Structure 1
Amino acid sequence: MACFLSNHEGFFGSIKNFTRDFVVTEIDIAGSLVSTIDCISESSVRTLSISEDVSCSFAEKNTEPKLVAASPTLETECVSDCSSNSLETLDLSVILGQVVTEKLEQFACSLKNGCSSEQELSLGSFSHKHQRANVHRAVKLRFPFLLTITNQCEIKAKEWQDYRELRQMVSEKEADDFFRFTDAKVSGSSYTFLPDDNREHRTEVHRFLSRRFGKLVETKSFTDQGRTSICVRLRERGKPKKRTAEDCRQEDIYTAFTLSKENLETLEAISYMAAELGVLPSDFTYAGIKDKRAITYQSMVVKKVSPERLKEKAAEFEKRGMRLFAVRPVSEPLKLGRLCGNHFNIVVRDIKPHIYDGPDPLAYSESMVKLAVENVKTTGFVNYYGPQRFGITQKVQSDQIGLALLKEDMVSAVHLFFTPDKRDEPQNKAKCHFLQTGNAKEALLMMPESKARERLMLRAMNRFGTGPDGCAQAWLSLPHSTRIFYLHSYCSRVWNEAAAHRLTILGDSVKQGDLVQGVTGTMNDSGETSTNQIHVVTEEEEREGVYTLGQVHLPMPGNTVKYPENAMGAWYKERLSKDGLESCRFRVSSLKMNVPGCYRPLLAFPHNLDYSLQREGDGVENCSDGDKNDKATDSVKLNLTLNFDLFPSCYATVFLREVMKTMVN
C-alpha cells in the first residue's frame, strides 16, 4: 500500500497501547449502534446515511447456496473407535493384501456399472476381532455402498441395498457422504443434502431415511435464501425416535444478543461459547467479523439456545473476556453483511512530528494534526484492506493459503495453514509436530481446545488421511464462511495492489475505461455493487469530467466481474498470470466454493467525524480549547481522540494510515 491521497506531512503516534484505546461498535441495518444495555437511550442512536460510496463487503458476502460439508464439523471428539486407528490399519492393501484389494476394487466397480446386486465377495478369514473391526471400517471408508458381513471369522462384502435405494433419489456423492456421515457417528453432528425444490421428492427422501435409519438419525427440511434442503442429525443416545413438540420448538429458538469481546477473534469467541452451550459454531450467526486487538460490540444470534440459558452462562463467558448485552428472543438468524457499518472510538497517544527542530513541538504537532484530519475528512482515503485482513502476526498470511486453494493444491494449503508462528505457544508446538511427523492424531492431542479450526482439520485428517483427498476433507470440515475467507483474502491482496497501481499510473482523475457506479444504481445490504450498476467511462465523459475519483470502483477478482477497459485491465490479467491463475474460474468445486467477485470503491470517507487533542502531563485536558502559551516540557505528551463511522469492510487502521502517513496495524 504505497499511495496516499493527501499531501500533508503526517506524524508519529501510538495506537492500541491499551485495548480501551480502540473501541469498535457495530451499526445495525437500521443505522443504530448495537445495544449495550437492555433499553437503548436516545443518545446512543446514530444514523449513517447510505450513499453511492458504500464500500463492498466482499469478505462477508456469499452468493453461493449453502452446501453440506462431506465430513461433520464438530467441536467434540469423535466417539467412533475408528478415530484411534493409525493410517496403516485402515489401508486396505495392508489389511487384505494387494491381491484381495484388487479383487475388491473390481467387485465394487462391477456393482457401480450395474451388475447383479446379489453377488458377494469373500475378503478372507480373520481370527482376531480387532482385525475384523479394521476390515469393516476400512471397507466402509473406501466403499460406502458396500455392506460387510461376518460369518464366524470370514468377512464377505456385498452391495448395500439401502445405498442403492438412496442412490436412486440423490447424487452419488451425496449418497457416499451420507453413509460416511452415518458410519462416523460423531455425537451432535449433522449432514445436509443439496437444495431440492421438489416437495414430493423431499418427502420421499424423508420417508426413506426415517424407515431405514430412524433409530440413528432424525431429519428436517429448512429453507435458506429461497432454497430448501434436508438436514440430517444424529439422534442423542436414549432419545426417542419420534420428536416431541418441545424438540420441534427448541429447533426454532433463536436468541439475539450483543457480544462485547476484548482481545479475541470473532470466530475464537464463537468457539468458546459453542463449547460452553453444547451447540455447534455454525449455530451462531453474525453480520461481520471484528478486530481482535480491540474492544468490540457486535450483534449475534444463536440457534437452539433460550435467552434464559444464555444468561445463565454469562458469568462463564466473562472469564474469557466476553460480555453479553440485550439478550432477547428473535424469529430468525442474522445474515452476513446485514449492517450499515461500524463506529470507532480511537485514541492515538504520544503524537510527535516526523521531522521538527523548532522551539514548540507540541504547538506544531497540534496544528499539523488538525490539518491532517481535516484533509482526510474532505478528500477521503484509499480504500485498502487493512493488514489485519491477512493476519498481522502470522508467519504465513491468509492470502497465501487462499492462492493454494484456488490452485486446488489442498496439501500445500493445509501445510501453509499449519505453519507455526515463532512464538512458543502450545498450538505452535502442535503445528510443528504435525508438519514434522504427519501424525494428525498426535497433533490433535497436543492442540489446545480453544483452537477449533485446527482441531476440526486434524480430526478430519486423522480419519481420511493426509493426502490430497484427506486434506480436502480437512477443509470441508470447516464452515463455508471460514473456507471462503481465505479465497477472499487472496482477492483482497490483488485489489490492494490494483488500487496502488491505478493511482500510480493513472493519477487522481477519472480516465477512459475506468469503472464507475451508475448514477441511478443502488447498493445491496452489504454495500456490494452489482454488474449491471457498473458503467465504463467513455472518452467524452473523461473530457467533460462527468465523474469524480470517489465514484471509481475496482473489481475484486471473480467469475462474474468485468475489468477496466484501460491499462488496468491488462494489469489484472498479468497479475493473475503471475500467480498461475490465468485460466482460473474462481471456483473450487471440491470444496463447494465460488467467488463471483464484486466492485469495491477506490476511495472511502469517514462519516460523523469528531476529534479533539489532549495534553497529558501538564493539567491541560483539551488543547483545542486550552491555553496555547503553556510551557511544553519533555514530560508532556499529546494525544488525539477520534470518533467516526465507516461503511462495512472499511478499515479504521487504513484511515489512520492516511492521517498519520505511516503504517498502522
Structure 2
Amino acid sequence: MKFISQLDGYSGIIKARFSDFQVNEIDLNNEVAKLTDLSIPADFIKKEVQGNVGEVVNSPIDQIPQETWEAIRFMLESCEKNVVELDATNLTKEDRTKIHECVKKVFGKKIVANTGTVDGKKKMTFKKHDGKIVDHRFKWPEDKGEYVHFLVYKECLDTLEACLRIASCLRMPASSLNYAGVKDKRAKTTQWFSVKKVEPWKLIIKTKCLTNIRIGNIVFKKEPLKLGQLVGNKFRIALRNVTGKDDLVEKSLQSLAENGFINYYGLQRFGNDKEVPTFSVGVQLLLGNWKEACQIILKPTKSDHPDHDISKAKKMFFESGDASKALEQFNGNKDTCIEYLLLSGLSKGHSNDFVNALA
C-alpha cells in the first residue's frame, strides 16, 4: 500500500456524529449555499382583497353586461342565496379570465365565480361566498420567472429521499423537482432545488411537517436547475479523538490541500445494500450496460433481511423477473428507496427498458 503523504500517520474518528459532516453546494456563480431566509416572498403572500362595492356602480369592463353587474351587486346585498348567470357561449378564455379578475378585484372573496355547462350551454355563475367554497386560483406574476429555485437544508437524508418527501408534501411526482447534485445522507447538507410554478407558501408551509428538512431562500428564474449545474461542494468535517500533535495535524492538512485525497462513493449513489460494490454499478453505467447495472442493484445478497420489503422485492424480481410482482412486496417503503423507483420504472414501461427505468 502506498500513501499520498510521507508524513507519519495518526488516528482519529471521522463522522462520529452526522453533524460532524456538513456539505454546502457551490453554484455556478461560486456562491456557497446557506439557508438564511425562511420567509415567503412578499408578492406571494395571500392578501384579502378589499373592494368597496358601493362605489363601483357601473360595470368596469365590457365583458360583463351592466344588468349582470347590477344583479351581482343586488345578490350581495340580499339575504337570499341567489345565483347570477352569464352566457359564456361567445366569450373567449381571455374574456373569462378578465371577468374573474375583475370580480375578484372589486368583490374580493365575497363572490365566487365559476365556469361550467348548464343545459348544454357554457355559462359563468356567480355566488355569494358561504364560507365553504374557496377560490384557489392563482395567477402567476408576469415579472417572475416561472421556475422557483429554493434551498433545501436536510439532516440524515440523501437527496433522493428528501426529494421524495418534499414531493409527497406537495402532492406531485418527484420528477417535477430538479437538483444539481446528490448530497450525502449521514450529514447536514444544503443544496439548491427547482420546481415549476409552485406557489412559495406551499413550499414553506406544507413541508413544515418534515422534521429534518427546511426550505427557504426562494428566488425565481426563467430556467430550471439541471443536473451538474454546480461548481462543487464546500465541506466542513470534524475529526474527533485525534492522536497526532498539532504540528503534525497542520502539516497533514496542508498536504490534503495540495495533493487532495481518494474520493469515496457512498450508498446514496446506488441502492441500499452495503454488499453491492457501487463502483461496479458505475462501470456498467459508463459502458452503457443498463441491464447489468439494474441487475447489480436488484440482486439479492447475503445481508438481506428476509422480513424487509426491499429484500422480498429483490428476491421476487430475481426469481420471476416480474417487476410488477416485486412491487407488490412493498408496504412501508414506497417511494422512499432506489430499488422501489427502479422496479416502478420497469413495471410502467417495457420490461427491457432499463435506460428509462434508471432515469
Is TM (by shorter chain) over 0.5? yes
Does residue 380 of structure 1 match 2:271?
no
Alpha-carbon distance between aligned partners in 1 of 2:348 and 2:225, rounded to the nearest angstrom: 33
In 2 relative to 1, CA 266–459 (structure 1 residues): closer, same or farther, beyond 3 Å?
A: closer
Match of 2:190, SS state, is: strand
Q: Which of 279, 293, 299 in structure 1 is aligned with 2:172?
A: 279
Q: Deviations over 1:638-664 (max 9, x none)?
A: xxxxxxxxxxxxxxxxxxxxxxxxxxx
Alpha-carbon distance between aligned partners in 1 of 2:165 and 2:339, rounded to the nearest angstrom: 14
Alpha-carbon distance between aligned partners in 2 of 1:19 and 1:340, rounded to the nearest angstrom: 24
Give the equivalent residue in structure 1 for 2:24. Answer: 25
Opposite residue 21 of structure 1, the aligned amino acid is D
The two structures, once aligned, show a CA RMSD in angstroms of: 3.2
Note if contact 2:24-2:34 (Cα within 8 Å) is conserved in structure 1.
no
Alpha-carbon distance between aligned partners in 1 of 2:229 and 2:291, rounded to the nearest angstrom: 35
Does residue 470 of structure 1 match 2:355?
no
Match of 1:324, SS state, is: strand
Does residue 332 of structure 1 match 2:332?
no
Give the equivalent residue in structure 1 for 2:323. Answer: 440
Give the equivalent residue in structure 2 for 1:636. Answer: none
Q: Which of 331, 335, 339 in structure 2 is aligned with 1:454?
A: 339
Does residue 426 of structure 1 match 2:316?
no
Note if contact 1:4-1:381 (Cα within 8 Å) is conserved in structure 2.
no
Note if contact 2:4-2:259 (Cα within 8 Å) is conserved in structure 1.
yes
Give the equivalent residue in structure 2 for 1:291. Answer: 184
Report deviation, 1:407.
5.7
Q: How does 1:139-288 map to 2 (within 5 A)?
A: 249=140, 253-288=146-181
Does residue 11 of structure 1 match 2:3?
no
Match of 2:238, SS state, is: strand
Opposite residue 290 of structure 1, the aligned amino acid is K
Q: Deviations over 1:217-270 (max 9, x none)?
A: xxxxxxxxxxxxxxxxxxxxx9xxxxxxx79959x7322211111121112211
Opposite residue 335 of structure 1, the aligned amino acid is K
Q: Deviations over 1:167-221 (max 9, x none)?
A: xxxxxxxxxxxxxxxxxxxxxxxxxxxxxxxxxxxxxxxxxxxxxxxxxxxxxxx
Note if contact 2:149-2:193 (Cα within 8 Å) is conserved in structure 1.
yes
Note if contact 1:311-1:327 (Cα within 8 Å) is conserved in structure 2.
no
Q: Deviations over 1:514-558 (max 9, x none)?
A: xxxxxxxxxxxxxxxxxxxxxxxxxxxxxxxxxxxxxxxxxxxxx
Report deviation, 1:406.
5.7
Q: How does 1:282-321 map to 2 (within 5 A)?
A: 282-318=175-211, 321=212
Report deviation, 1:293.
1.6
Alpha-carbon distance between aligned partners in 2 of 1:285 and 1:310, rounded to the nearest angstrom: 14
Q: Deviations over 1:430-450 (max 9, x none)?
A: 212221333322321223213
Q: Deviations over 1:457-491 (max 9, x none)?
A: 32344456xxxx6232x431343xxxxxxxxxxxx
Select between 261-270 and 28-37 the one with higher mean Cα deviation: 28-37
Number of residues of Structure 1 aligned to a counterpart in Structure 2:
253
Gaps of 5+ in 2: 39-115, 117-136
Report deviation, 1:36.
1.2
Report deviation, 1:455.
3.1
Report deviation, 1:336.
2.9
Report deviation, 1:18.
0.8
Give the equivalent residue in structure 2 for 1:367. Answer: 247
Percent identity at matched positions?
Answer: 30
Give the equivalent residue in structure 2 for 1:342. Answer: 233
Query: Greater helix percent: which structure?
Result: 1
Alpha-carbon distance between aligned partners in 2 of 1:28 and 1:408, rounded to the nearest angstrom: 29
Q: TM-score, normalised by structure 1?
A: 0.35
Note if contact 2:346-2:352 (Cα within 8 Å) is conserved in structure 1.
yes
Match of 2:12, SS state, is: strand
Q: TM-score, normalised by structure 2?
A: 0.61
Report deviation, 1:13.
1.0
Alpha-carbon distance between aligned partners in 2 of 1:280 and 1:412, rounded to the nearest angstrom: 27
Give the equivalent residue in structure 2 for 1:396. Answer: 276
In 2 relative to 1, CA 248–4 (structure 1 residues): closer, same or farther, beyond 3 Å?
A: farther
In 2 relative to 1, CA 8–294 (structure 1 residues): closer, same or farther, beyond 3 Å?
A: same
Alpha-carbon distance between aligned partners in 2 of 1:460 and 1:374, rounded to the nearest angstrom: 46
Note if contact 1:414-1:471 (Cα within 8 Å) is conserved in structure 2.
no
In 2 relative to 1, CA 393–352 (structure 1 residues): closer, same or farther, beyond 3 Å?
A: farther
Opposite residue 458 of structure 1, the aligned amino acid is L
In 2 relative to 1, CA 409–3 (structure 1 residues): closer, same or farther, beyond 3 Å?
A: same
Note if contact 1:457-1:475 (Cα within 8 Å) is conserved in structure 2.
no
Alpha-carbon distance between aligned partners in 2 of 1:257 and 1:313, rounded to the nearest angstrom: 14
Report deviation, 1:23.
0.8
Alpha-carbon distance between aligned partners in 2 of 1:445 and 1:263, rounded to the nearest angstrom: 28
Give the equivalent residue in structure 2 for 1:127. Answer: none
Alpha-carbon distance between aligned partners in 2 of 1:399 and 1:470, rounded to the nearest angstrom: 25
Report deviation, 1:313.
1.2
In 2 relative to 1, CA 340–457 (structure 1 residues): closer, same or farther, beyond 3 Å?
A: closer
Note if contact 1:10-1:369 (Cα within 8 Å) is conserved in structure 2.
no
Opposite residue 435 of structure 1, the aligned amino acid is F
Deviating above 6 A after TM superposition, structure 1's stretches of 4 or more consecutive aligned residues are none
Q: How does 1:93-172 map to 2 (within 5 A)?
A: none
Q: Deviations over 1:538-589 (max 9, x none)?
A: xxxxxxxxxxxxxxxxxxxxxxxxxxxxxxxxxxxxxxxxxxxxxxxxxxxx
Gaps of 5+ in 1: 40-237, 239-245, 354-364, 480-665
